[in-house]
Amino acid sequence: MPLDILKTVFGYNSFRGDQEEIIHHVLEKKDALVLMPTGGGKSLCYQIPALIFEGVTVVVSPLISLMKDQVQALQAHGISAEYINSSNSPQEEEIIIERALHGDIKLLYLSPEKLLTVSSTWLTGLNLSMIAIDEAHCISMWGHDFRPEYAQMQNLRKQFSSIPFIALTATADKLTREDIVGQLNLSHPKTFISSFNRENLSLNVRSQIPKKDKLKEIKRFISERSNESGIIYCLSRKNTEDLADELEAYGFSVACYHAGLPPQKREHIQEAFINDDLKIIVATIAFGMGIDKSNVRWVIHNNLPKNIEGYYQEIGRAGRDGLPSDTLLYFNYKDVVLLKQFADQSGQQTIQQEKLKRMLQFAEATSCRRRILLAYFGEHLAENCGNCDVCNDPPNFIDGTIIAQKAMSGIVRLKEKVSVNMLINVLRGSANAEVIGMGYNKIKTYGVGKEYSFFDWQSYIVQLINLGGIEIAYDDKNRLKLTPYGWEILKGDQQIQLTIPKKKEQIKKKSSALVKKETDSQLFEKLRALRMQIAKEENVPPYIIFNDKSLKEMAADMPVTDNQFLGVSGVGEQKLLRFGEEFMSIIKQYKNANKPVAKKSTLSETLDLYKQGFSPAEIAEKRNLQITTIYSHLASGYEEDSSINIMPLFSSDNLLTIKKIKSDLGAEDQNKLKPYFEQANEKIPYHEIRLILSFLSKDV
């Protein structure tokens, strides 16, 4: 029966991982703790039993947005589901309660606060079949997102002793798992731990990148993924605002999100992102826990996360549909210092420091990152993943003993009283005022490391810290100290290997081996447009209709009969009835189009490729044309159709420069490129001037 429901209701042909075993365990009315990665199908583990059991299943969920997403998704499959939280009016709540009491609802989602409020009133009148606690790590003080209201639910198990309880989470280490079981008073639960390996996510880390260069890299990264949704996580509210402003000025569809914004604005931004009206969110970790959006294609961490659980959950918001997605983590030494201070003030100093240490070990890894990540959750990966930056570009090791001794000698001769930047300045022989004023130019190690750049020394010192040769005295102005191991290296009793720092090379978008079917991109865009239209009419997020994976299968297989359409992943009987005819009509029209297509103009070919997400350089290579010709096409195309987004192709500073020059030029020179080139001190290339003038021609 569970497999029949999986096929007919949810549109999947087979269970994944432990899903089937978990479902049968719950159907025997036994408690369970389920650890399954984001996008792994946790929800089906209680949704299918809920449809089989008589009565109503109550699902405890921490966020309004999460409840709304899941209820809309269930309703799209024809399942009677509702939620009650602070967003309901008293009248709406009363109607839902009446329906639940009459057995008209199969799944009822409640916030933990609401559940506690009604646990001794109308909840006792329901024919309860099961209670599912989602995001169960919130109940544990050791979890990365502890919520006090969750901790008050521990008496529920005694109150409803005859029904099964299932606790679910995507991230929990061993300590947190044990705490969840204890806090919820689960009765002899079986723990199911699914593989944490999200193969579709590429893992990339960039360290010690200067702020200006990092911004350029992020802009390039996003430009190469035009029309794709993504999230950028920052440590502070100010960081989110500043970075969002920078990206917006560059022409990206972006907004910032943090807990300091008014609730209505936060809700508006979140809704716009879920509905694909907004492509990029720059946020603190306040954003994302309740997001069920399946087509987030990338996640960037602008700073080092404070622990691996949080990092894993945040990158898990990408690629929930199983399609290839990218993750990118930036971090620097300042992040470590700040997070160390947070850990010291957390009230759980020892454990939070250890979690930060493990996070740093992951970020500084010189071996397969996925193996390290999975090992943290107790999972062994036999081979390197081939889908992380370390696997794709293995580091070069050198005998770093002399380098280490230079750094350590400097620390000792500076009496262990300086922090990283001052040590580097001394090693490189800097003549800045502070170095000279302190007399550090007179010590023996002054200038002994001038052959290495500031960036190189940063990398070497961080490696020495991580390898245990140097430690940072966080409680003493972040001064550097030698460890006993460091003294052994300095004396020549130990040797040490270091990796050669990687230069600030361009991050390239790689095609993933996980794409198994050749998708017709033109048909995919037509199907995506139809999905957006239906989503607007139904007032639901587009992925509630069909996720990107389903659309890509449709574009690849081109189903035109009911049976063929039911063969698409994610298409159940209800979705076939509701949406099948419209989607198959588009596919039939596309397949049956037999009119000879006139050869496209060279300009149209360029514009089509640009709209598909190819960069000007890629188009030039693909079409065997000069890149200046491609820019000319784009400028002309924009003048005819200003919906083409050309803003990522020029900087906001250059836009302001050309705009000012134009206002100063006489009418006879305003349409000539050379005067702009000369007045901009020949720093703005002709092709960019041409683009900006086209943009300004539409700027009303």
Q: What is the DSSP string of 176-205?
A: HHHHHHHHTT-SSPEEEE-----TTEEEEE
Segment (H or E) for 220: helix 211-223
Q: Is the pLDDT of residue 360 over 90?
A: no
Q: Name the superfamily (CATH) of residues 201-331+356-385.
A: P-loop containing nucleotide triphosphate hydrolases (3.40.50.300)
Which residues lie below 8 Å from residue 1, measured CB to CB, with a gap of 6+? 52
pLDDT band at residue 91 under the 50/70/90 scheme: very high
- Model pLDDT, residue 700: 45
The model's pLDDT over 124-157, given as tens digits with 9 standing for 90+, comes to: 999 999 999 998 888 876 655 667 777 778 788 8
Which residue is listed with tokens 């109308």? 122
Short-list 107, 683, 698, 40, CA closest to 316: 40
Q: Domain map of the chain by residue range?
A: 2-193, 201-331+356-385, 397-499, 521-592, 602-697
> Regarding predicted confidence, which is higher, 668 or 298?
298
Tell which CATH classification among 3.40.50.720, 1.10.10.10, 1.10.260.30, 3.30.70.260 matches the domain 397-499.
Answer: 1.10.10.10
Mean pLDDT of 348-366: 84
C-alpha to C-alpha distance for 192 and 565, rounded to whole angstroms: 33
- Model pLDDT, residue 510: 46
pLDDT band at residue 201 under the 50/70/90 scheme: very high
Contact 603, 637 (CB under 8 A): yes
- Model pLDDT, residue 690: 81
pLDDT band at residue 291 under the 50/70/90 scheme: low
Cβ neighbours around 606 below 10 Å, total: 26
Mean pLDDT of 248-261: 91
Q: Is the pLDDT of residue 638 over 90?
A: no
DSSP assignment letter at 9: I
Lowest-pLDDT range, 528-537, 595-604, 649-658? Answer: 595-604
Short-list 299, 234, 210, 215, CA closest to 651: 215
Backbone angles phi, psi at 491, to 5 degrees: -80, -10
Cβ neighbours around 643 below 10 Å, total: 6
The model's pLDDT over 214-247, given as tens digits with 9 standing for 90+, comes to: 999 999 999 999 889 999 999 889 999 999 999 9
Mean pLDDT of 602-606: 82
Mean pLDDT of 39-64: 91
Lowest-pLDDT range, 161-175, 547-561, 584-598, 627-641? Answer: 584-598
Q: Mean pLDDT over all residues of the chain?
A: 86
Q: Is the pLDDT of residue 433 over 70?
A: yes
The model's pLDDT over 310-319, given as tens digits with 9 standing for 90+, comes to: 899 899 899 9
Amino acid identity, residue 428? R
Amino acid identity, residue 374? L
Contact 39, 170 (CB under 8 A): no
- 397-499 has the same fold as 201-331+356-385: no
Short-list 302, 282, 116, 339, CA closest to 214: 302
Q: Is the pLDDT of residue 53 over 90?
A: yes
Q: Is the pLDDT of residue 442 over 70?
A: yes
pLDDT band at residue 395 under the 50/70/90 scheme: confident
Amino acid identity, residue 507? I
Which residue is listed with tokens 């002793």? 161
User: Cα–chain-centroid distance for residue 151?
Assistant: 28
Which residues lie below 8 Å from residue 601, measured CB to CB, with a gap of 6+? none
pLDDT band at residue 506 under the 50/70/90 scheme: very low
Whether domain 2-193 has CATH 3.40.50.300: the reply is: yes
| Greatest Cα pair distance in the chain | 87
- Model pLDDT, residue 515: 41
Mean pLDDT of 85-106: 92
Q: What is the DSSP string of 91-147?
A: HHHHHHHHHHHTT--SEEEE-HHHHHHHTTTGGGGS-EEEEEESSGGGG-TTSTT--
- Model pLDDT, residue 622: 82
Q: Is the pLDDT of residue 596 over 70?
A: no
pLDDT band at residue 511 under the 50/70/90 scheme: very low
Lowest-pLDDT range, 246-250, 476-480, 506-510, 659-663? Answer: 506-510
Architecture of domain 521-592: Orthogonal Bundle (1.10)
C-alpha to C-alpha distance for 460 and 660, rounded to whole angstroms: 46
DSSP assignment letter at 442: G
Lowest-pLDDT range, 57-66, 498-507, 558-567, 680-689? Answer: 498-507
Segment (H or E) for 84: strand 81-84
> Regarding predicted confidence, which is higher, 265 or 208?
265
Mean pLDDT of 488-513: 71
pTM: 0.66
Mean pLDDT of 112-134: 91
Highest mean pLDDT among 440-444, 624-628, 663-667, 670-674: 440-444
pLDDT band at residue 475 under the 50/70/90 scheme: low
* Ramachandran bin of 320, using left for φ above 0, alpha for ψ from -120 to 50, beta for the remaining angles: alpha
Q: Is the pLDDT of residue 89 over 80?
A: yes
> Regarding predicted confidence, which is higher, 260 or 39?
260
- For residue 602, with 0-12 CB atoms within 10 Å meaning exposed, 13-18 middle and 19 or more buried, which class applies? exposed
Percent of the chain with pLDDT over 70: 94
- Model pLDDT, residue 297: 94
Which residues lie below 8 Å from residue 6, measured CB to CB, with a gap of 6+? 12, 13, 14, 15, 44, 48
Q: What is the DSSP string of 666-682?
A: -TTTTT-HHHHHHHTTT
Strands (E) in 444-512, as ranges, are 470-473, 479-482, 497-499
Which residues lie below 8 Å from residue 144, measured CB to CB, with a gap of 6+? 137, 171, 306, 307, 309, 310, 313
Strands (E) in 211-339, as ranges, are 229-233, 254-257, 280-283, 296-301, 325-331
- Model pLDDT, residue 143: 58
- Model pLDDT, residue 366: 82
